[in-house]
Amino acid sequence: MAEDYVEAIAEAISENGICRAVDLVRHFDVTHATVSNTISRLQRDGLVVTEPYQPITLTAKGKRMATKARNRHEVVRTFLLRIGVSETTATEDSEGIEHHVSDETLRAMKRVMKDGIPASD
Protein backbone atom coordinates (compact mmCIF):
# COMPACT_ATOMS: atom_id res chain seq x y z
CA MET A 1 0.00 0.00 0.00
CA ALA A 2 2.60 2.55 1.11
CA GLU A 3 4.76 1.53 -1.83
CA ASP A 4 2.00 2.11 -4.35
CA TYR A 5 1.14 5.44 -2.81
CA VAL A 6 4.65 6.90 -2.75
CA GLU A 7 5.16 5.60 -6.27
CA ALA A 8 1.97 7.33 -7.44
CA ILE A 9 2.91 10.53 -5.62
CA ALA A 10 6.37 10.57 -7.20
CA GLU A 11 4.78 9.98 -10.59
CA ALA A 12 2.33 12.85 -10.16
CA ILE A 13 5.10 15.18 -9.04
CA SER A 14 7.31 14.25 -11.96
CA GLU A 15 4.41 14.78 -14.35
CA ASN A 16 2.62 17.84 -12.95
CA GLY A 17 5.18 19.37 -10.65
CA ILE A 18 2.92 18.73 -7.65
CA CYS A 19 0.74 15.96 -6.28
CA ARG A 20 -2.79 16.72 -5.07
CA ALA A 21 -5.03 14.29 -3.24
CA VAL A 22 -7.35 14.29 -6.22
CA ASP A 23 -4.57 12.79 -8.34
CA LEU A 24 -4.50 9.81 -6.00
CA VAL A 25 -8.29 9.62 -5.93
CA ARG A 26 -8.19 9.20 -9.70
CA HIS A 27 -5.15 6.92 -9.73
CA PHE A 28 -6.50 4.43 -7.23
CA ASP A 29 -10.17 4.96 -7.96
CA VAL A 30 -11.06 5.46 -4.29
CA THR A 31 -12.83 8.32 -2.54
CA HIS A 32 -11.30 11.50 -1.19
CA ALA A 33 -12.03 10.27 2.31
CA THR A 34 -9.94 7.18 1.74
CA VAL A 35 -7.02 9.12 0.30
CA SER A 36 -7.17 11.58 3.19
CA ASN A 37 -6.97 8.75 5.71
CA THR A 38 -4.19 6.97 3.91
CA ILE A 39 -2.11 10.13 3.56
CA SER A 40 -2.41 10.72 7.31
CA ARG A 41 -0.96 7.27 7.90
CA LEU A 42 1.86 7.90 5.44
CA GLN A 43 2.63 11.16 7.20
CA ARG A 44 2.53 9.45 10.57
CA ASP A 45 5.05 6.97 9.18
CA GLY A 46 7.36 9.70 7.92
CA LEU A 47 6.91 9.07 4.20
CA VAL A 48 5.10 12.23 3.15
CA VAL A 49 4.48 15.75 4.36
CA THR A 50 1.31 17.73 3.82
CA GLU A 51 -0.91 20.32 5.42
CA PRO A 52 -4.67 20.68 5.12
CA TYR A 53 -5.63 21.66 1.56
CA GLN A 54 -1.99 21.67 0.51
CA PRO A 55 -0.15 19.50 -2.03
CA ILE A 56 1.61 16.35 -0.88
CA THR A 57 5.38 16.08 -0.90
CA LEU A 58 7.66 13.12 -0.25
CA THR A 59 10.21 13.03 2.56
CA ALA A 60 13.70 11.68 1.88
CA LYS A 61 12.49 8.34 3.20
CA GLY A 62 9.44 8.56 0.94
CA LYS A 63 11.57 9.36 -2.10
CA ARG A 64 13.84 6.44 -1.37
CA MET A 65 10.91 4.08 -1.10
CA ALA A 66 9.35 5.47 -4.28
CA THR A 67 12.52 4.97 -6.28
CA LYS A 68 13.01 1.40 -5.11
CA ALA A 69 9.35 0.56 -5.67
CA ARG A 70 9.29 2.08 -9.12
CA ASN A 71 12.38 0.19 -10.15
CA ARG A 72 11.14 -3.10 -8.75
CA HIS A 73 7.77 -2.66 -10.41
CA GLU A 74 9.38 -1.96 -13.76
CA VAL A 75 11.80 -4.89 -13.58
CA VAL A 76 8.95 -7.26 -12.74
CA ARG A 77 6.78 -5.93 -15.52
CA THR A 78 9.55 -6.10 -18.09
CA PHE A 79 10.45 -9.59 -16.94
CA LEU A 80 6.90 -10.80 -17.44
CA LEU A 81 6.86 -9.35 -20.95
CA ARG A 82 10.19 -11.04 -21.59
CA ILE A 83 8.81 -14.47 -20.73
CA GLY A 84 5.98 -13.96 -23.17
CA VAL A 85 3.14 -12.51 -21.11
CA SER A 86 0.87 -9.98 -22.86
CA GLU A 87 1.10 -6.25 -22.12
CA THR A 88 -2.25 -6.24 -20.35
CA THR A 89 -1.50 -9.19 -18.10
CA ALA A 90 2.07 -8.08 -17.39
CA THR A 91 0.75 -4.73 -16.24
CA GLU A 92 -1.95 -6.31 -14.09
CA ASP A 93 0.10 -9.08 -12.49
CA SER A 94 3.18 -6.95 -11.84
CA GLU A 95 1.02 -4.60 -9.76
CA GLY A 96 0.62 -7.32 -7.16
CA ILE A 97 3.74 -9.40 -7.64
CA GLU A 98 6.12 -6.46 -7.17
CA HIS A 99 5.33 -6.30 -3.45
CA HIS A 100 6.58 -9.83 -2.82
CA VAL A 101 9.78 -9.86 -4.83
CA SER A 102 12.94 -9.88 -2.69
CA ASP A 103 16.20 -8.30 -3.77
CA GLU A 104 17.56 -11.73 -4.57
CA THR A 105 14.66 -12.59 -6.87
CA LEU A 106 14.93 -9.17 -8.50
CA ARG A 107 18.59 -9.82 -9.25
CA ALA A 108 17.69 -13.23 -10.69
CA MET A 109 15.14 -11.61 -13.01
CA LYS A 110 17.66 -9.07 -14.24
CA ARG A 111 20.27 -11.78 -14.75
CA VAL A 112 17.86 -13.87 -16.79
CA MET A 113 16.91 -10.93 -18.97
CA LYS A 114 20.61 -10.28 -19.64
CA ASP A 115 22.11 -13.78 -19.84
CA GLY A 116 19.12 -16.02 -20.42
CA ILE A 117 18.05 -18.93 -18.28
CA PRO A 118 20.70 -20.54 -16.03
CA ALA A 119 22.02 -23.94 -17.04
CA SER A 120 19.50 -26.73 -16.34
CA ASP A 121 22.35 -28.27 -14.22
Partner DNA sequence: GAAACAACTTAGCCCGTGCTAAGTTTCGAG
Partner DNA sequence: CTCGAAACTTAGCACGGGCTAAGTTGTTTC
The footprint of Mn ion on residues 22-81 (CB under 5 A) is 73
Is 25 a binder of a copy of itself (CB under 8 A)? no
* DSSP symbols for 45-104: TTSEE--TTS-BEE-HHHHHHHHHHHHHHHHHHHHHHHTT--HHHHHHHHHHHGGG--HH
Q: How many residues bind DNA (CB under 7 A)?
A: 22
Is 53 a binder of DNA (CB under 7 A)? yes
Stretch that binds a copy of itself, among 5-13, 20-28, 31-39, 96-104 (CB under 8 A): 96-104
* Residue among 29, 44, 53, 96 that touches a copy of itself (CB under 8 A): 96
Q: What backbone torsions phi and psi does residue 113 show, to the nearest 5 degrees?
A: -65, -30
Give the C-alpha separation, 33 to 83, whole Å.
40
Is 95 a binder of Mn ion (CB under 5 A)? yes
Stretch that binds DNA, among 9-17, 30-38, 97-105, 106-114 (CB under 7 A): 30-38
